[in-house]
Amino acid sequence: MRIRTRFAPVAGAVAAAAAVMLSAAACSSSTQETKQETKADTRDSGFWEAHASAAGVEVEPPASVTDIAERSGLVVLGTVSGATEGRDYSEQGKPPNRTSNIAVNVERSSDAGVKRAVVEFTRHPGDDLSDVVNDLPKGTYVFYLSPWYEGPDGPVYRCASAAGCVVGVENGALKTPRDPEAARELGPAAKARPRTAVADEPLTVEDVFAKSAAAVPGS
């Protein structure tokens, strides 16, 4: 009995220590997963923050996706595939004013035959291209574009709407990553849904493209 009395607390201590170690390991794993999720959540936002639109630049901001499309020369559905240095518009004595040329792999286009589009985005003065080139957005977006200039590898486009140039869909609702507040101006999902879509189904980015492409002048 003495032996059991002397060693029972030790066994209890070992069990307690093991529980603490398991708890710590679980906490560490949870913390690591949270960090990974946070990194994933901020991946796109860092890129778009570096290429955010300037607030208040549009005197008459668009009120719907078809409104943006009517101001566009080209509407494409696609993903960001790369970024290169654009032009330098800097003026002496003023903050840097450089741009990024963003390559878009086109899945669908309002003009037949367009497989790739290059779009010039103004970049925040505090961000270098190297800061964001490895954190390209992963989502699929609708891009509303206007012809800008002829580059060495083909046409370069600019935004048809500064804040609403890039439109995506998240959880059935519109999102505008260059200016998150602009999505509210574009109205509810019903305004971005084509007539052929089922009303009670969640809005998709393909819905937004279909309705937008039909509204491009000359389409």
Tokens standing for residue 156: 């370069």
Q: How far apart are CA 188 and CA 191, in angstroms?
A: 6
Burial 133-159 (b: 16+ CB within 10 A, else e): eebbbeebbbbbbeebeeeeeeebbbb
Token pair for residue 211?
């309705």
Instruction: Please tell me the predicted confidence (pLDDT) of residue 57.
Output: 67
The dihedral of CA 200, 202, 206, 211: what is its sign?
positive
Query: How many domains is the chain built from?
Result: 1
pLDDT tens string 79-100? 999 999 999 999 999 988 999 9
- Residue 27 has which token pair? 């906490």
Domain that holds residue 127: 65-213
- The mean predicted confidence, pLDDT, of the chain is 82
Instruction: Tell me, yes or no, whether 135 lies in a domain.
Output: yes
- The structure tokens listed for 66 are 């078809």
For residue 13, tell me if it sits in a domain. no
Domain contains 59: no
Which of 151, 163, 68 lies closest to 122, judged by CA? 163
Which pTM does this prediction carry?
Answer: 0.79
* E strand map for the chain: 74-88, 98-109, 116-122, 140-151, 154-159, 166-170, 173-175
105-138 confidence digits (pLDDT tens): 999 999 999 999 999 999 999 899 998 888 899 9
Residue bearing the bigger pLDDT, 87 or 11: 87
In tens, the pLDDT along 30-76 reads 444 433 333 334 445 799 999 998 755 677 889 999 999 999 999 99
25 belongs to a structural domain:
no
Establish if 54 belongs to a structural domain: no
